[in-house]
A = this chain, B = another copy of it.
Amino acid sequence: MPTAQLLLHCPDKPGILAAVTDFITVNKGNIVYLDQYVDRVDHVFFMRLEWDLDNFLIPREKVEDYFTTLYAKKYSMDFKLYFSDRLPRMAVFVSKMSHCLYDMLARYTAGEWNVEIPLIISNHPDLKLVADRFEIPFYVFPITKDNREEQEKKELALLAENKISFIVLARYMQIISDDMINAYPHKIINIHHSFLPAFVGAKPYHAAFERGVKIIGATSHYVTSDLDAGPIIEQDVVRITHKDSIKDLVNKGRDLEKIVLSRAVLKHIERKVLTYKNKTIIFS
Protein backbone atom coordinates (compact mmCIF):
# COMPACT_ATOMS: atom_id res chain seq x y z
CA MET A 1 0.00 0.00 0.00
CA PRO A 2 1.71 3.22 -1.12
CA THR A 3 2.22 6.02 1.40
CA ALA A 4 3.06 9.69 1.23
CA GLN A 5 6.07 10.82 3.27
CA LEU A 6 6.30 14.41 4.40
CA LEU A 7 9.35 15.97 6.05
CA LEU A 8 9.25 19.57 7.16
CA HIS A 9 10.65 22.20 9.43
CA CYS A 10 9.44 25.69 10.23
CA PRO A 11 9.44 28.28 13.01
CA ASP A 12 7.67 26.75 15.99
CA LYS A 13 4.22 28.09 16.69
CA PRO A 14 1.25 26.71 18.59
CA GLY A 15 -1.07 24.58 16.49
CA ILE A 16 1.21 23.46 13.66
CA LEU A 17 1.06 19.80 14.57
CA ALA A 18 -2.72 19.95 14.95
CA ALA A 19 -3.10 21.78 11.64
CA VAL A 20 -0.96 19.34 9.65
CA THR A 21 -2.41 16.15 11.12
CA ASP A 22 -5.85 17.61 10.65
CA PHE A 23 -5.12 18.13 6.94
CA ILE A 24 -4.38 14.43 6.59
CA THR A 25 -7.22 13.01 8.64
CA VAL A 26 -9.91 15.35 7.28
CA ASN A 27 -8.96 14.14 3.81
CA LYS A 28 -9.25 10.52 4.91
CA GLY A 29 -5.53 9.80 5.03
CA ASN A 30 -4.61 7.09 7.55
CA ILE A 31 -1.48 8.25 9.41
CA VAL A 32 0.93 5.34 9.82
CA TYR A 33 3.95 7.28 11.10
CA LEU A 34 4.45 10.52 12.98
CA ASP A 35 7.61 11.75 14.63
CA GLN A 36 8.17 15.33 15.62
CA TYR A 37 10.75 17.32 17.49
CA VAL A 38 10.97 20.91 18.62
CA ASP A 39 14.27 22.71 19.02
CA ARG A 40 13.38 24.72 22.15
CA VAL A 41 16.46 26.92 21.82
CA ASP A 42 16.04 28.03 18.21
CA HIS A 43 12.25 27.56 18.25
CA VAL A 44 12.12 25.33 15.20
CA PHE A 45 9.53 22.63 14.62
CA PHE A 46 10.57 19.44 12.77
CA MET A 47 8.21 16.68 11.66
CA ARG A 48 8.07 13.52 9.59
CA LEU A 49 4.63 12.23 8.71
CA GLU A 50 3.56 9.24 6.62
CA TRP A 51 0.05 8.26 5.57
CA ASP A 52 -1.70 5.75 3.34
CA LEU A 53 -2.64 7.12 -0.04
CA ASP A 54 -5.37 4.56 -0.67
CA ASN A 55 -8.43 6.47 0.49
CA PHE A 56 -6.75 9.86 0.56
CA LEU A 57 -9.08 12.32 -1.11
CA ILE A 58 -6.40 14.50 -2.69
CA PRO A 59 -4.81 12.95 -5.81
CA ARG A 60 -1.13 12.30 -5.24
CA GLU A 61 -0.01 14.67 -7.98
CA LYS A 62 -1.85 17.52 -6.29
CA VAL A 63 -0.77 16.94 -2.69
CA GLU A 64 2.32 19.12 -2.94
CA ASP A 65 0.38 21.96 -4.47
CA TYR A 66 -2.43 21.83 -1.90
CA PHE A 67 -0.05 21.54 1.03
CA THR A 68 2.01 24.49 -0.19
CA THR A 69 -1.03 26.69 -0.59
CA LEU A 70 -2.81 25.72 2.61
CA TYR A 71 0.04 25.29 5.12
CA ALA A 72 3.59 25.69 3.89
CA LYS A 73 3.25 29.36 3.02
CA LYS A 74 1.25 30.15 6.13
CA TYR A 75 3.82 28.62 8.48
CA SER A 76 6.96 29.42 6.41
CA MET A 77 7.67 25.73 6.07
CA ASP A 78 10.59 24.12 4.31
CA PHE A 79 9.20 20.74 3.29
CA LYS A 80 9.80 17.70 1.12
CA LEU A 81 7.19 15.25 -0.10
CA TYR A 82 7.96 11.69 -1.20
CA PHE A 83 5.95 8.64 -2.19
CA SER A 84 6.96 5.24 -0.90
CA ASP A 85 6.51 3.59 -4.30
CA ARG A 86 8.82 6.03 -6.05
CA LEU A 87 12.13 4.54 -4.98
CA PRO A 88 15.20 6.72 -4.54
CA ARG A 89 17.86 6.05 -7.16
CA MET A 90 21.34 5.62 -5.79
CA ALA A 91 24.74 5.76 -7.45
CA VAL A 92 27.73 4.19 -5.72
CA PHE A 93 31.22 5.62 -6.15
CA VAL A 94 34.10 3.28 -5.30
CA SER A 95 37.84 3.01 -5.71
CA LYS A 96 39.65 -0.21 -4.77
CA MET A 97 38.21 -1.40 -1.45
CA SER A 98 35.23 -3.72 -1.76
CA HIS A 99 33.86 -4.16 1.77
CA CYS A 100 31.30 -1.33 1.76
CA LEU A 101 30.25 -2.09 -1.80
CA TYR A 102 29.64 -5.78 -1.08
CA ASP A 103 27.71 -4.95 2.07
CA MET A 104 25.37 -2.59 0.23
CA LEU A 105 24.88 -4.81 -2.81
CA ALA A 106 24.08 -7.80 -0.59
CA ARG A 107 21.39 -5.75 1.18
CA TYR A 108 20.08 -4.45 -2.13
CA THR A 109 19.91 -7.92 -3.68
CA ALA A 110 18.31 -9.46 -0.61
CA GLY A 111 15.57 -6.84 -0.68
CA GLU A 112 16.60 -5.17 2.61
CA TRP A 113 16.54 -1.73 0.97
CA ASN A 114 13.77 0.02 -0.99
CA VAL A 115 16.12 1.60 -3.48
CA GLU A 116 17.28 1.35 -7.07
CA ILE A 117 21.00 1.12 -7.84
CA PRO A 118 21.29 1.74 -11.57
CA LEU A 119 25.05 2.17 -11.69
CA ILE A 120 28.42 2.11 -10.00
CA ILE A 121 31.15 4.63 -10.82
CA SER A 122 34.83 4.21 -10.09
CA ASN A 123 38.15 5.87 -10.76
CA HIS A 124 39.74 2.43 -11.03
CA PRO A 125 38.71 -0.74 -12.88
CA ASP A 126 39.45 -3.05 -9.89
CA LEU A 127 35.91 -3.58 -8.62
CA LYS A 128 34.29 -4.25 -11.99
CA LEU A 129 34.19 -7.92 -11.06
CA VAL A 130 32.01 -7.16 -8.02
CA ALA A 131 29.61 -5.08 -10.10
CA ASP A 132 29.44 -7.85 -12.69
CA ARG A 133 28.56 -10.41 -10.04
CA PHE A 134 25.55 -8.34 -9.07
CA GLU A 135 24.84 -7.40 -12.71
CA ILE A 136 25.05 -3.66 -12.14
CA PRO A 137 26.54 -1.39 -14.82
CA PHE A 138 30.04 -0.23 -13.88
CA TYR A 139 31.67 2.88 -15.33
CA VAL A 140 35.32 3.83 -14.97
CA PHE A 141 36.34 7.48 -14.95
CA PRO A 142 40.05 7.69 -14.12
CA ILE A 143 40.70 10.99 -12.40
CA THR A 144 43.89 13.02 -12.54
CA LYS A 145 44.58 16.57 -11.45
CA ASP A 146 44.22 17.71 -15.02
CA ASN A 147 41.07 15.93 -16.09
CA ARG A 148 38.91 16.15 -12.96
CA GLU A 149 36.64 18.89 -14.27
CA GLU A 150 36.08 17.17 -17.58
CA GLN A 151 35.52 13.73 -16.04
CA GLU A 152 33.08 15.02 -13.43
CA LYS A 153 31.07 16.65 -16.22
CA LYS A 154 30.71 13.25 -17.86
CA GLU A 155 29.83 11.69 -14.53
CA LEU A 156 27.18 14.34 -13.89
CA ALA A 157 25.69 13.72 -17.32
CA LEU A 158 25.59 9.99 -16.63
CA LEU A 159 23.99 10.56 -13.22
CA ALA A 160 21.37 12.85 -14.73
CA GLU A 161 20.64 10.39 -17.49
CA ASN A 162 20.05 7.71 -14.87
CA LYS A 163 17.86 10.01 -12.78
CA ILE A 164 20.12 9.50 -9.78
CA SER A 165 18.69 11.07 -6.61
CA PHE A 166 21.64 10.51 -4.28
CA ILE A 167 25.25 9.32 -4.26
CA VAL A 168 27.11 7.08 -1.85
CA LEU A 169 30.90 7.34 -1.61
CA ALA A 170 31.87 3.84 -0.54
CA ARG A 171 35.53 4.48 0.31
CA TYR A 172 35.89 6.56 -2.88
CA MET A 173 39.41 7.97 -2.65
CA GLN A 174 38.97 11.15 -4.64
CA ILE A 175 38.01 14.69 -3.77
CA ILE A 176 34.57 15.64 -5.05
CA SER A 177 34.51 19.11 -6.61
CA ASP A 178 32.09 21.82 -5.57
CA ASP A 179 30.24 21.52 -8.86
CA MET A 180 29.19 17.99 -8.07
CA ILE A 181 28.48 18.82 -4.42
CA ASN A 182 26.23 21.67 -5.52
CA ALA A 183 24.42 19.39 -7.95
CA TYR A 184 23.64 17.01 -5.08
CA PRO A 185 23.34 19.22 -1.98
CA HIS A 186 23.18 17.04 1.16
CA LYS A 187 22.65 14.13 -1.20
CA ILE A 188 26.16 12.74 -1.24
CA ILE A 189 26.87 10.37 1.66
CA ASN A 190 30.46 9.66 2.62
CA ILE A 191 32.04 7.25 5.10
CA HIS A 192 35.06 8.59 6.95
CA HIS A 193 37.18 6.04 8.75
CA SER A 194 37.50 7.88 12.04
CA PHE A 195 35.37 9.20 14.85
CA LEU A 196 34.98 12.72 13.49
CA PRO A 197 36.00 15.40 14.29
CA ALA A 198 39.02 13.43 15.49
CA PHE A 199 41.46 12.53 12.72
CA VAL A 200 40.09 14.55 9.84
CA GLY A 201 41.76 13.90 6.48
CA ALA A 202 44.06 11.16 5.26
CA LYS A 203 45.33 8.11 7.16
CA PRO A 204 43.13 8.33 10.27
CA TYR A 205 44.04 4.80 11.43
CA HIS A 206 47.70 5.74 11.44
CA ALA A 207 46.89 8.91 13.36
CA ALA A 208 44.74 6.97 15.87
CA PHE A 209 47.55 4.48 16.37
CA GLU A 210 50.09 7.25 16.95
CA ARG A 211 47.85 8.98 19.47
CA GLY A 212 47.25 5.77 21.39
CA VAL A 213 43.47 6.00 21.58
CA LYS A 214 41.56 3.13 23.20
CA ILE A 215 38.54 3.35 20.89
CA ILE A 216 38.32 3.91 17.14
CA GLY A 217 35.30 4.98 15.14
CA ALA A 218 33.71 5.59 11.78
CA THR A 219 31.50 8.46 10.70
CA SER A 220 29.00 8.76 7.90
CA HIS A 221 28.12 12.29 6.84
CA TYR A 222 26.76 14.36 3.99
CA VAL A 223 29.49 15.86 1.86
CA THR A 224 29.84 19.62 1.86
CA SER A 225 32.62 21.78 0.47
CA ASP A 226 34.36 21.63 3.88
CA LEU A 227 36.43 18.42 4.01
CA ASP A 228 34.98 15.89 6.49
CA ALA A 229 32.89 18.62 8.08
CA GLY A 230 29.39 18.02 6.68
CA PRO A 231 26.33 17.02 8.73
CA ILE A 232 26.94 13.73 10.57
CA ILE A 233 24.32 11.04 9.98
CA GLU A 234 25.72 8.12 11.96
CA GLN A 235 28.77 7.16 13.99
CA ASP A 236 29.91 4.09 15.81
CA VAL A 237 32.99 2.91 17.63
CA VAL A 238 34.91 -0.21 18.59
CA ARG A 239 37.31 -0.77 21.45
CA ILE A 240 41.00 -1.42 20.72
CA THR A 241 44.00 -2.11 22.94
CA HIS A 242 47.74 -1.52 22.91
CA LYS A 243 48.05 -4.93 21.26
CA ASP A 244 46.36 -3.75 18.06
CA SER A 245 48.71 -2.86 15.22
CA ILE A 246 47.75 -0.40 12.47
CA LYS A 247 46.73 -3.42 10.40
CA ASP A 248 44.43 -4.57 13.23
CA LEU A 249 42.90 -1.10 13.34
CA VAL A 250 42.28 -1.22 9.60
CA ASN A 251 40.63 -4.64 9.94
CA LYS A 252 38.43 -3.69 12.89
CA GLY A 253 37.62 -0.38 11.24
CA ARG A 254 36.50 -2.06 8.03
CA ASP A 255 33.60 -3.72 9.84
CA LEU A 256 32.65 -0.43 11.44
CA GLU A 257 32.81 1.43 8.15
CA LYS A 258 30.43 -0.86 6.34
CA ILE A 259 27.90 -1.02 9.16
CA VAL A 260 27.95 2.72 9.83
CA LEU A 261 27.69 3.58 6.13
CA SER A 262 24.84 1.13 5.56
CA ARG A 263 22.93 2.46 8.57
CA ALA A 264 23.26 6.00 7.25
CA VAL A 265 22.23 5.00 3.73
CA LEU A 266 19.19 3.16 5.10
CA LYS A 267 18.08 6.22 7.04
CA HIS A 268 18.44 8.29 3.86
CA ILE A 269 16.53 5.73 1.77
CA GLU A 270 13.74 5.71 4.34
CA ARG A 271 13.62 9.52 4.07
CA LYS A 272 14.19 9.85 7.78
CA VAL A 273 16.99 12.44 7.70
CA LEU A 274 16.52 16.19 7.76
CA THR A 275 19.50 18.54 7.68
CA TYR A 276 19.46 21.80 9.56
CA LYS A 277 22.37 24.11 10.41
CA ASN A 278 25.04 21.56 9.44
CA LYS A 279 23.44 18.93 11.67
CA THR A 280 20.99 16.12 11.05
CA ILE A 281 17.64 15.37 12.58
CA ILE A 282 17.25 11.57 12.42
CA PHE A 283 13.63 10.51 12.75
CA SER A 284 12.96 7.32 14.63
Residues of A within 8 A of B (CB): 14-15, 17-18, 21-22, 25, 30-32, 34, 36-38, 40-41, 98-99, 102-103, 106-107, 109-110, 112, 133-134, 195-199, 211-215, 217, 231-237, 239, 241-243, 245, 251, 254-255, 259, 262-263, 278-282, 284
Contacts and interface: CB of A to CB of B under 8 A. Distances in A.
Contact of A232 (B14, B32, B213): B213
A18 B199 CA distance: 41
A213 B242 contact: no
B215 A236 contact: yes
8 contacts: A14-B30, A18-B21, A40-B245, A133-B134, A196-B213, A197-B213, A241-B282, A259-B259
Given A17-B18, A98-B110, A110-B99, A212 B197 contact: no
Given A242-B37, A243-B37, A211 B198 contact: no
A215 B197 contact: no
A231 B214 contact: no
Contacts of A41: 245
B242 A282 contact: yes
Nearest to A281: B242
A35 B197 CA distance: 31
A36 B37 contact: no
A265 to B, nearest CB: 13
Contact of A40 (B32, B40, B215, B255): B32
Contact of A102 (B25, B106, B251): B106
B99 A106 contact: yes
A255 B245 contact: no
Contacts of A231: 212
B199 A214 contact: no
A141 to B, nearest CB: 23
Nearest to A213: B232
A7 to B, nearest CB: 13
Contacts of A15: 21-22, 25
A124 to B, nearest CB: 15
A25 B14 contact: yes
A220 to B, nearest CB: 9
B235 A214 contact: yes
A175 B15 CA distance: 49
A134 B241 CA distance: 35
B106 A98 contact: yes
A278 B22 contact: no
A34 B17 contact: yes
A106 B255 CA distance: 12
Contacts of A282: 241-242
